[in-house]
Chain A
Amino acid sequence: MPEQQRTLGAAEVEQLVEREYAYGFVTDIETERVPPGLSEDVIRLISEKKEEPQWLLDWRLKAYELWQGMTEPDWAKVSYPKINYDEISYYAAPKSAVKDGPQSLDDIDPELRRTYEKLGIPLVEQQRLAGIAVDAVFDSVSVATTFKEKLAELGVIFCSFSEAVKEHPELVRKYLGTVVPHTDNFFASLNSAVFSDGSFVYVPKGVRCPMELSTYFRINASETGQFERTLIIADEGSYVSYLEGCTAPMRDENQLHAAVVELVALEDARIKYSTVQNWYPGDKNGVGGIYNFVTKRGKCAGARSHISWTQVETGSAITWKYPSCILLGDDSIGEFYSVALTANRQQADTGTKMIHIGKNTKSTIISKGISAGHGQNTYRGQVKILPGAWNARNFSQCDSLLIGPDSGAHTVPYIDVANPEAQLEHEASTSRIGEDQLFYCRQRGIDPEEAVSLIVNGFARDVLSELPMEFAVEAQKLLGVSLEGAVG
């Protein structure tokens, strides 16, 4: 006789998922800020501050004009009060960093250095961190980039976006907007108009980038949005692994983060892009937190090119993001590995689009959604096979794990096939952390919090194993911490 199974009750779950956000502090630093509100003047001001060429200003203004006629998308399964775009400040920067843009590592404001140290990202080129180069973005500007010289020896360009506009305008102009055009969608157009900084990467032909490149985004100023733009170009036969991390202070207000990331992989190039997203998620009643509306897309432009997206999404009040691949080159490969965790009142609507255009293109989608408390988690993904995509293949797997009776998981796959040879597989499952699993762990001496973390990490294993090692460990801890809480 199988013993009766009991699922966890609301009160038990609340205790298990009660979380403390470790990065919620505010850096006390003098900030230069543009007054709230959006207008052509504000855009001209941002462009002027960055000493941009006319073509870029024109591009911003075109995007702005378009954006004014656009409406905010409402098809995602997220609900939030209307955003007032006139209450947001579109540019904020520490005064000490404004003067000369990113400085040499020795000249960084000690307060900023301390901030990054507290976040576990020391801005030094020490031995221990020899394998990782960091670009640190604080509010609207990049404040430091490590290992730039060392990378330059190989011809790898890794710098802030603003610097790239000045130092490598031909590359920026050639690729900016080629994957996510300024017309793309409401949030991407807004970003195109007001983006302030971000990272730029170019890996030359045949070069295998010897270290992990990473950008650490920090929102600090209140009542501001962060609109960064990242552009990564992997030239023929090159390889790069890139990681981004993000945190923000705890505040009662909601702050908007609307980023755009564009990846271009030329023939035989490979880009591995990993995200550990830990923006402030709001408190347990859903007050505060970041609205994360992000457009990320990669173009496998050349034959046999390969782009993988791996994301661990644990933060933000609302997550709206669909890192996608345009598989244009023949034999190109797109991959999407995702863990999204929503606890308390968090909402995530995330997934991917795989657009098969070239012949023999392959895509893999592995999505793991974890919902606890009143968290709502939606996987939304599209697999599109165009008529010329002979012998295209896709494998999709979407698993959901529910913790407690009030959480929700939703799966919305769109499949659009216009070639008779295409092969698609789709697997999906939904399970609950049962009282039986929890009791089994506890009977072996393991704490309930530790047990939940163990079970969640096991569930997410297939995705975590795609992360670079250092970050896999961090992500594993993060999934544990996000669910940590006192059990009475």
Chain B
Amino acid sequence: MTPLLEICGLHVEVEGREILRGLDLEIPLGETHAVMGPNGSGKSTLAHVIAGREGYEITGGIIRYQGEDIAEMEPEERARKGVFLAFQYPVEIPGVNNTYFLKAAVNEIRKHRDQPELDAVDFLSLMKERVKLLDFDVDLIKRPVNEGFSGGEKKRNEILQMTVLEPTLGVLDETDSGLDIDALRIVAEGVNRMRSPERSFLVITHYQRLLDHIVPDRVHVLQDGRIVESGGRDLAHRLEAEGYTRPAAVPA
């Protein structure tokens, strides 16, 4: 079976500087993979290039999603096909109501899937149900998107959006950064509840502590723009104990 996400020999430049240098990664449908790596290894670049951000130029290699080459696909099209990125730094949109924003997104996606749009009443009840599951302050859904939110509230809002948009591939870009242990647990539970044979996750993180809560099927180590080692969940613990500086144990 074709993997949900298939990346082969990917080279990516940002402002003329090569960040990814021949990255390979495959995520089968239904699996949760973690990519770990030190600062500057290219973790966020990987997240953004999957989501289709402009300014990230693919200079070589292939990136396929559901068997389709998506290198040239607009970000909104990818989103409508089920790619979701939980941002490391969620963006504030002053004056735009959080619920209104998410309803616009949901209906945009439903429209492209030939599903009927949700009306305000249906949508609000859906929101309220998801909000409860995430122990999210109900008042926040009426406030402008991320405006005046604490770091933890912003991250939880990302997960709230993900649970409402129900993507096929959820990419979590350092979702654990800035979260205290309680928030981390809530976020992880939100993700775990969504895990299913019909959905995959790519969890990008610097620390293994998130992986104690979201236990991955595979762990990959990203260094200097390449996956240098892959393994089971134990690899995360070993990295935590030994650090990234240890030369990757790749047989020649």
Contacts and interface: CB of A to CB of B under 8 A. Distances in A.
Interface of A: 1-4, 6, 434-437, 439-448, 450, 454-455, 457-462
Given A446-B108, A448-B76, A440 B51 contact: no
B76 A442 contact: yes
Contacts of B165: 444-445
Contacts of B136: none
B14 A4 contact: yes
A1 B96 contact: no
A446 B14 contact: no
B94 A459 contact: yes
Contact of B76 (A6, A436, A447, A460): A447
A443 B90 CA distance: 12
Contacts of A448: 76
Interface residues of B, number: 38
5 contacts: A437-B91, A443-B84, A446-B105, A448-B76, A455-B93
Interface string B25-37: 0000000000000
A100 B96 CA distance: 50
A459 B93 CA distance: 8
Contact of B87 (A440, A442, A461, A462): A440
Contacts of A462: 95
Contact of A443 (B75, B104, B112): B75
B75 A450 contact: no
Mostly, the A contact residues are helix
Given A441-B93, A444-B79, A445-B105, 17 more contacts: A3-B48, A4-B15, A439-B91, A440-B90, A440-B91, A441-B105, A443-B51, A443-B76, A443-B78, A444-B105, A445-B80, A446-B105, A450-B104, A450-B108, A454-B101, A458-B144, A461-B95
B109 A445 contact: yes
B96 A447 contact: no
Contacts of B15: 4
Interface string B77-114: 01110001101111101111000011011001100100
A192 B88 CA distance: 61
Contact of B75 (A2, A3, A439, A459): A439
Quick one: which of B48, B78, B95 has the most chain A CB within 10 A?
B95
A457 B101 CA distance: 12
Nearest to A437: B91
Nearest to A451: B76
B39 interface: yes
Contacts of B78: 443
B148 interface: no
Nearest to A464: B95
B162 to A, nearest CB: 10
